[in-house]
Amino acid sequence: MNGKSLVSIDQCSREDILRILENAARFEANPNRALLDGKVAATLFFEPSTRTRLSFETAVNRLGGRVVGFQDASTTSSSKGETLKDTILMVSNYVDLIIMRHHLEGAARYASEVTGIPVINAGDGANQHPSQTLLDLYSIQKTQGKLTDLAITIVGDLKYGRTVHSLIVGMSHFSPTFHFVAPEELRMPEEQKNICDQLNIPYTERTDFTEDIINQSDILYMTRVQRERFTDLEEYERVKNIYILKNGMLKNSKDNLRILHPLPRVNEIAYDVDDNPKAYFIQQARNGLFTREAIICDALGINHLI
């Protein structure tokens, strides 16, 4: 296994996270740097994701590297029954870095085990999406001026939301306080609560989404509540409008509060929130570019940025 691959946020120490975020800030100050001159990155999107692919490909281009790849596995040899291993080994002959997204969980870890070149996981099914977590952390640090001792309220689907689970792991190094707001059926799983318990991270759980909890928060992390996640559709009908953030709910919130969302959103943030200066989800996506530039350099061992 290549030590520089980024497969899961669990592998990142506090130092790893801080190093990547520091470099991301440098890329924000100056995104165009010819650090990948002569290098080629492959973006292998076995499962399409235009948003993530564009962000990674832009990052490689702004670093002066070149990109090869595909975004539709139906046109590649994997649709003809080629194993993932063979595809990865074939591509490894040509490129310096693999950025991959796959619908199967664990695909990126397996790829990182079979090849000697670094692999960046751009999402493996419902499992991991570490660049999303790092850009969330970057957005939190940038808007709060720090990562430590923040009150983070996470709203919506806390059971299946992988970004939420990874956010807990990523933030766990920085003594946060969490507030989990979710319908009964989509509560935070025991596994994530156990992580908090073991690290003495305080958290509260509630089903009602009210101004009271918003007013205690530094970060409000909204996620989608999807109809298909419910076994009981009556329950969905009952709760679907409870977890919608409206601008009026923000009137007594802290000045430093910022609202994050991994996007795309459906209706969980009302459009009247967009003009509130506390809405940060569009800038958050832009931070993905700088964070991914930093992740790519980290994977390739390029660490001395000025």
Instruction: State the catalytic residues.
Output: 51-52, 80, 101, 129
Distance between alpha carbon 19 and the CA centroid of its chain, in Å? 17
The reply on whether position 132 binds other proteins by CB under 8 A is no
Which one of 21, 60, 84, 137 is in contact with other proteins (CB under 8 A)? Answer: 84
Q: Does 46 bind other proteins (CB under 8 A)?
A: no
> Taking the alpha carbons of 96, 31, 172, 259 in that order, is the dihedral positive or negative?
negative
- Among 52, 115, 121, 128, the residue binding other proteins under the rule CB under 8 A is 128
**Identity of the residue, 15 or 190, whose beta carbon is nearer to other proteins in the bound complex:** 190
**CA 196: distance to chain centroid?**
19
Other CB atoms within a 10 A radius of the CB of residue 243 amount to: 22
Smaller CB separation from other proteins, 109 or 258: 109
Minimum distance of other proteins from residue 102's CB (angstroms) = 8
Q: Is 191 in the site for other proteins (CB under 8 A)?
A: yes
Rounded to whole angstroms, how far apart are CA atoms 50 and 61? 16
Kindly state whether residue 105 participates in binding other proteins, applying the rule CB under 8 A. Answer: yes
Q: To which residue do tokens 């996620």 refer?
A: 223
Angle at which helices 14-29 and 281-299 pack, to 10 degrees?
Answer: 110
11 binds other proteins (CB under 8 A): no
- Rg of the chain on CA atoms, in Å: 20
- Least separation in angstroms between residue 284's CB and other proteins is 25
- Rounded to whole angstroms, how far apart are CA atoms 46 and 84? 10
Q: For residue 224, count CB atoms less than 10 angstroms from its CB and return exposed for 0-12, middle for 13-18, buried for 19 or more.
A: buried
- 45, 110, 178, 230: which one binds other proteins (CB under 8 A): 110
304: number of CA atoms within 13 Å, CB side?
A: 0
- Indicate which single residue of 90, 104, 233, 282 sits in contact with other proteins (rule: CB under 8 A): 104
Contact set for other proteins, span 54-83 (CB under 8 A): 83
In the sheet that 151-155 helps form, which strands lie side by side, from edge to edge? Answer: 203-206, 177-181, 151-155, 219-222, 258-260
- The smaller minimum CB distance to other proteins, of residues 109 and 261, is found at 109
- Determine, following the binding rule CB under 8 A, whether residue 115 of this chain makes contact with other proteins: no
The verdict on 90 binding other proteins (CB under 8 A) reads: no
Binding other proteins (rule: CB under 8 A), the pick from 103, 146, 227, 246 is: 103
Give me the least distance between CB of 107 and other proteins, in Å please: 5
Binds other proteins (CB under 8 A): choice among 5, 127, 131, 143 = 127
Rounded to a whole number of angstroms, the minimum distance from the CB of residue 288 to other proteins is: 23
Q: Is residue 1 involved in binding other proteins (CB under 8 A)? A: no
* Amino acid in position 3: G
Tokens of 116: 């000697």
Could you tell me the CA-to-CA distances from 9 to 29, 74, 283 in Å, in that order? 25, 29, 22
208 binds other proteins (CB under 8 A): no
Give the residues lining the site for other proteins (CB under 8 A): 8, 83-85, 102-107, 109-110, 124-128, 191
